[in-house]
Structure 1
Amino acid sequence: MIAAYLRLIGPLHRRRLGGVLAAKVLDAMMAGAPFVLVYLVLRAVMSPDGLAEVRPWWIGALLGVFLARAAVGLWASAAGMRLALDVSRDLRARTVAHAGCLSLGDLDAGRADDLSTIIAQDIPTLQMAPTQALPGVILHTVFPVLLVTGLAVLEPRLALVLAVAAPLCVGLMALSRRHALRLNRERADGFGTLTLRLVEYIEGLPVYRVLGAAGRRHAALAGAVEVLRAVNRRLVTRLTPLLFANALVIEGAVAAVLILSLVLLVGGALPAETVLIFVVAGVRIGESLRALMGLVDLIEGLGVSVERVRRLLDTPAMTEGTDTTPPARGAVAFRSVSWSCGDRPILRDIALDADPGTFTALVGASGSGKSSILRLLAAYGPADRGAILVDGRDVRTYRSDAYWRGVVLAPQQAFVFDASVANNIALADPDASPDRIATAAEIAGCAALVQDRAGDDGPSLGDDGARVSGGEAQRIALARLLLTRAPVLLLDEATSALDFETEAQVWRRFREATRDRTLIAAAHRLRTVRDADQILVVDGGRIVERGRHEDLLAVGGSYARLWAADAITPNTLEEPAWSA
């Protein structure tokens, strides 16, 4: 953990940490100095001349050591705290900046959850490294070593007893560390799962209660609690014997020193002042070893946090192209594109062409690969094979910020943040005029929401859009999409939460407003895309049919079956007439 932490914080903070730890070494040395001075005072007091043998400077030196140690300890504590805060600030900035360089696919694969855990939990935990863990290890390692070395000069036999106990303690602590490392990882995973289950249970409680499923979902939450409890039990079960054995070695060594000291004192082989020094020193060494033992679990807990931060920072950044010119025409082409998620093939030999200003619809069963096509086109990640071209240029040659000014995706799960409706729409263009925002909202069917909640001072939509419905959130996201000037618009079931009549009206207005842009949309409701310039039927990661609505119906294949299944939709709804 220590080596990984040092690599994580960088050279500048390593040098500052070196200063803090050097201060703790000095602190440990000064912690041993009083034993020398007290021994000199005791030997003088117990001599025939008594107090007359005591040198005044010994007392002054003793007070000076106490004051110096207090000053060094205060400086080390303050420097460690400043370092901890600076490291936390820098790690937060690095993790957020690196997350901004990850591909959208990496963020969509759970890295966002990792990022929130790192920011809220791991980085604050790592503040204990320069303030408690590492200074504690230095102090409670250097101090016993120096003290035993000094005591060996006075009485090698007693020092040997303490010296023998030290490697036994180190061995037991190493064994404890090995168990603690694995179990702390399991505990961190269990805690993360429990947090997710708890949030899921709280957010879904209204639904669970209505469906009478609160008990079953509570059982899932209780299961996560039980998993974490089982890990904690194993941690206690496996570490307690080792900690007990370590404590037994420490207490046994102190008791052995005490007994042997008394034997030597009674036999006249050891002066009383030496016995007193050894007894007090043995107690202090025992305290240091117990403190060091207590740091094992803390250090391994920090190791889990270091590993999680490091794993995120080691995730390769998105490969950036050098072309800073955004797509302008909106011509899209896939050339034998294949893509897999791990070992599972998702898309196979996808070929399509979408001319500027045309509307392409992707239809097919759930899981057929429609969303994957859109995400590859939105630069969520690179294809495994083939090429994706926008305006005749491979998407990999674009710099991401330039590319996303020309290609924008509206996902099925609309993102709505805690701000007013107008500000949510203006996320696409902060400089947009109120008239442009109102026009986009009118086309997307959310003008009433803007009027009801308009302005910076209007009510916010709450966390995750808690104050709007799913359909309202999707209409806000569509208005935001319209506010962009991107020539390529991608819609992934972006109106799935709307009722049929509202969806038909929104689609008609949306298409009329985007006739000069290239539109590619995935849809389950085929009536909304029947007038597309081309319809691509996706099945098993392949495009199995392509053509216009009437031509595909005439073929009587997959599209005709999908259309027949979609025909249960009421026929009284007003049909969109994009071609008119």
Structure 2
Amino acid sequence: MIRMLLRVLGHEYAPPVRRTVVLMTTTAVVEGLSYALLVPVLRALFGSNPADAQPWLIAFGAVVAVYAVLRYVSDLSGFRVGTTLLHGMYQRLGNHLARLPIGWYSAGRVGEVSVLASTGVLQAMSAIAHLLAPLISAGVTPLTIVVVMLAFNWQMGLAALVAVPVVAAIQIWAGRSMDAADADRAERGHEATGRVIEYLQAQPVLRAGGRTVERFRFLDDSLREIQRASRRSTVSALPGVLGLALTVQAVFTVLLVLGAYLALGGNVGVAEVLAILVLAARCADPLLSLSDIGGQLRGARSELTRLDTVLRTEPLPEAREPIHPVGHDLEFESVAFRHGDRMVMDGVSLSVPEGQRLAVVGPSGAGKSTLLQLLARFYDVDAGVVRVGGVDVRAIDTEVLMAQIAIVFQDVYLFEGTIEENVRLGRPDAEESEVRAAATAARLDEVIERLPGGWATNVGEGGALLSGGERQRVSIARALLKNAPIVLLDEVTSALDPVNESAVHDGIERLMAGRTVVMVAHRMRTVRRADRVVFLDGGRIVEEGSHDELLVRGGRYADYWRISMTSAGGVEKVR
């Protein structure tokens, strides 16, 4: 497990881990050796002159004191190394997640990573702080005691030594038999967590459907599955636990019988037999704890394997010698992109001159949002080239590319904090006057004036304390503050009421002024602002031209326009 841990984190963490392991091993050896002094202590106490036990008692106390100091230092080292590894793991995981393509973050993947980044990382990293010392003690201390027993009486020491491979074999067998059950239980646990979240999120739908009293079938099923998985895991653990307990009990019984036989034959003194039996009894506790420690280690290793899988996911490659784009024109050349088994874009070629506006329309699933995502390099194309300023986006440094682009999504996510903090994400070093100007241009100032906290109003997690239109104004103000030369708009008004839609349109107009713009829209009134329009369907460009030209042609775009205007309450005559 330590090898995997160092592979996941990096070998720069190896020296402190090795020092901690050596320190813990030394502590376990000293603990075992301290029990060796019980033999001369008991021999003197049961002898003709019990006062002879005094120097051995002093020596025993001194060794125990050394052990206590070593135990304190080794435990402290374990906690410090564990904290360092925890910090390193969070840092590496965060840096890696920030480099992964946006397309990697599916809905299920986000929930999985959320659990992994919270309880998963803690469980994996707790192995060093909480499990390593007990594990080493459970293995090294009994072995040291066996060596001591061999030194005092080779027959009883040899009898105890026979138990070592038996205990090891039981642990290996138990671990292998429980791997599948543990993995199944962990998988069911993740599924149940997702169902609990789904149940909470589905409360409005359940209540609207009058099902507030009924049980949620999917959640019930997942909880039953985790109950069954837990039962299977417990049952699979029983043979190992019982086998280990019976082995320890059998060895102790053998030592008791052998010791009595040797004592009756006069080959060994009663004090020595009693001391060796005390040592054997001391071996039992750490050996019996191996089952519990093994289960916790398997859980930690399972989480570490999941972390390793995430960290092995390849991020989008960065150019060795990045090129800085000079202009802000956009171009797609024979672009093909496949998402899973579905061809989302197939042979798309188009260009947007610097400072012009392109509107992308079409039915749902046509590839409109994907076009924006390819421009921002959320994914890499499977074929063809996407260029910004005449340069392939794959040849542009990611930070440089994102500095050129401001994106306003339909679903706005705000970080928990104040309105000002969320606006400043566009450009953290902006002057206060620039922040206020961006807010005014986005008509966010109207929202701020009616909120009791003003700029200091907390937006809640995800912006939950603001309405959809208010969140969108924050997003537009953020994009205005960024002042990027390229603007990508993705359905920014499709879910807004008329008042907020009007305010957002005003902000969007200011945002688009003088910039290269690609806008995706379902509400066709926004298309009139574009210099050119492309109609996408099935990942292909079906029609292309200006708004007026496409209406005159009477093709797919004209039909789409009529339907849109009819649903909006008015029909525009085709000219």
Q: Scaled by the length of structure 2, what TM-score is found?
A: 0.91
Q: Offset at 1:76?
A: 0.7
Range that drifts further, 9-18 or 74-83: 9-18
After superposition, the C-alpha distances for 1:260-281 in whole angstroms (9 at most, x for unaligned) are 3334434545431232123212
The 8 Å contact of residues 112 and 190 in structure 2, kept in 1 or not, is answered as no
Q: Which amino acid is 2:18 matched to?
A: G
Q: Which amino acid is 1:547 matched to?
A: G
SS at match of 2:385: strand
Structure 1 residue aligned with 2:38: 38
In the alignment, structure 1 residue 315 sits paired with structure 2 residue 313 = yes
After superposition, the C-alpha distances for 1:333-366 in whole angstroms (9 at most, x for unaligned) are 0001111223432211111111122221212222
Q: Offset at 1:160?
A: 3.7
Range that drifts further, 373-382 or 451-460: 451-460
Structure 2 residue aligned with 1:15: 15
Structure 1 residue aligned with 2:280: 282
Structure 2 residue aligned with 1:243: 241
Range that drifts further, 108-117 or 455-464: 108-117
Mapped partners of 1:509, 1:53: distance in 2: 95
Mapped partners of 2:202, 2:572: distance in 1: 35
Q: Offset at 1:443?
A: 4.4
Q: Offset at 1:461?
A: 1.0
After superposition, the C-alpha distances for 1:471-520 in whole angstroms (9 at most, x for unaligned) are 32123212322222212111111222213564356336523652311111
Structure 1 residue aligned with 2:156: 158
Q: Which amino acid is 1:14 matched to?
A: A
In the alignment, structure 1 residue 145 sits paired with structure 2 residue 149 = no
Mapped partners of 2:35, 2:437: distance in 1: 83
Identify if the C-alpha distance between structure 1 residues 189 and 174 changes in structure 2 by more than 3 Å, giving closer, same or farther. Answer: same
Structure 2 residue aligned with 1:254: 252
Identify if the C-alpha distance between structure 1 residues 34 and 426 changes in structure 2 by more than 3 Å, giving closer, same or farther. Answer: closer
Q: Offset at 1:215?
A: 5.7
Mapped partners of 1:574, 1:561: distance in 2: 11
Q: Offset at 1:235?
A: 0.7
1:120 to 115, 118, 121: 118
The 8 Å contact of residues 82 and 125 in structure 2, kept in 1 or not, is answered as yes
Range that drifts further, 210-219 or 341-350: 210-219
Mapped partners of 2:49, 2:129: distance in 1: 42
The 8 Å contact of residues 335 and 388 in structure 1, kept in 2 or not, is answered as yes
2:209 to 194, 208, 211: 211
Q: Offset at 1:93?
A: 2.1
Range that drifts further, 157-166 or 387-396: 157-166
Identify if the C-alpha distance between structure 1 residues 227 and 265 changes in structure 2 by more than 3 Å, giving closer, same or farther. Answer: same
After superposition, the C-alpha distances for 1:365-411 in whole angstroms (9 at most, x for unaligned) are 22221111110101112111111111111111211111111122222
2:192 to 186, 191, 194: 194
Q: Which amino acid is 1:2 matched to?
A: I
Mapped partners of 1:85, 1:255: distance in 2: 43
The 8 Å contact of residues 327 and 487 in structure 1, kept in 2 or not, is answered as no
Mapped partners of 2:448, 2:210: distance in 1: 37
Identify if the C-alpha distance between structure 1 residues 215 and 521 changes in structure 2 by more than 3 Å, giving closer, same or farther. Answer: farther
Identify if the C-alpha distance between structure 1 residues 518 and 10 changes in structure 2 by more than 3 Å, giving closer, same or farther. Answer: closer
Identify if the C-alpha distance between structure 1 residues 226 and 151 changes in structure 2 by more than 3 Å, giving closer, same or farther. Answer: same
Mapped partners of 2:511, 2:276: distance in 1: 89
Q: Offset at 1:60?
A: 2.2
SS at match of 2:457: coil
Please, which runs of 5 or more residues in structure 1 have no aligned partner?
Answer: 576-580
Q: Which amino acid is 1:169 matched to?
A: V
1:131 to 129, 132, 137: 129
Identify if the C-alpha distance between structure 1 residues 193 and 541 changes in structure 2 by more than 3 Å, giving closer, same or farther. Answer: same
SS at match of 1:353: strand
Mapped partners of 1:418, 1:562: distance in 2: 39
Identify if the C-alpha distance between structure 1 residues 556 and 214 changes in structure 2 by more than 3 Å, giving closer, same or farther. Answer: farther
The 8 Å contact of residues 111 and 312 in structure 1, kept in 2 or not, is answered as no
2:400 to 390, 399, 402: 402
In the alignment, structure 1 residue 6 sits paired with structure 2 residue 6 = yes
Q: Which amino acid is 2:374 matched to?
A: L
SS at match of 1:491: strand
Q: Offset at 1:210?
A: 2.5
Mapped partners of 1:563, 1:470: distance in 2: 26
SS at match of 1:496: coil
Mapped partners of 1:383, 1:128: distance in 2: 41
Range that drifts further, 91-100 or 296-305: 91-100
The 8 Å contact of residues 476 and 507 in structure 2, kept in 1 or not, is answered as no
Structure 2 residue aligned with 1:529: 527
The 8 Å contact of residues 531 and 549 in structure 1, kept in 2 or not, is answered as no
SS at match of 2:216: helix
Identify if the C-alpha distance between structure 1 residues 505 and 418 changes in structure 2 by more than 3 Å, giving closer, same or farther. Answer: closer
Range that drifts further, 278-287 or 525-534: 525-534
Structure 1 residue aligned with 2:183: 185
Q: Offset at 1:117?
A: 3.2
1:491-502 pair list within 5 angstroms: 491-500=489-498, 502=500
Q: Offset at 1:127?
A: 4.1
Structure 2 residue aligned with 1:24: 24
Q: Which amino acid is 1:421 matched to?
A: I
Identify if the C-alpha distance between structure 1 residues 541 and 214 changes in structure 2 by more than 3 Å, giving closer, same or farther. Answer: farther
The 8 Å contact of residues 319 and 394 in structure 2, kept in 1 or not, is answered as yes
Q: Which amino acid is 1:24 matched to?
A: M
The 8 Å contact of residues 33 and 148 in structure 2, kept in 1 or not, is answered as no
After superposition, the C-alpha distances for 1:396-439 in whole angstroms (9 at most, x for unaligned) are 12111111111222222112122333432232123445554455
SS at match of 1:521: strand
Identify if the C-alpha distance between structure 1 residues 74 and 422 changes in structure 2 by more than 3 Å, giving closer, same or farther. Answer: closer
SS at match of 1:428: coil
Mapped partners of 1:425, 1:454: distance in 2: 18
Mapped partners of 1:574, 1:430: distance in 2: 45
Identify if the C-alpha distance between structure 1 residues 6 and 18 changes in structure 2 by more than 3 Å, giving closer, same or farther. Answer: same
Mapped partners of 1:431, 1:8: distance in 2: 35
The 8 Å contact of residues 501 and 573 in structure 1, kept in 2 or not, is answered as no
Mapped partners of 2:539, 2:4: distance in 1: 42
Structure 2 residue aligned with 1:478: 476
The 8 Å contact of residues 99 and 107 in structure 1, kept in 2 or not, is answered as no
Q: Which amino acid is 2:509 matched to?
A: R
Q: Offset at 1:446?
A: 3.4
SS at match of 1:430: coil
Range that drifts further, 535-544 or 455-464: 455-464
Range that drifts further, 244-253 or 523-532: 523-532
Mapped partners of 1:360, 1:500: distance in 2: 24
Range that drifts further, 315-324 or 421-430: 315-324
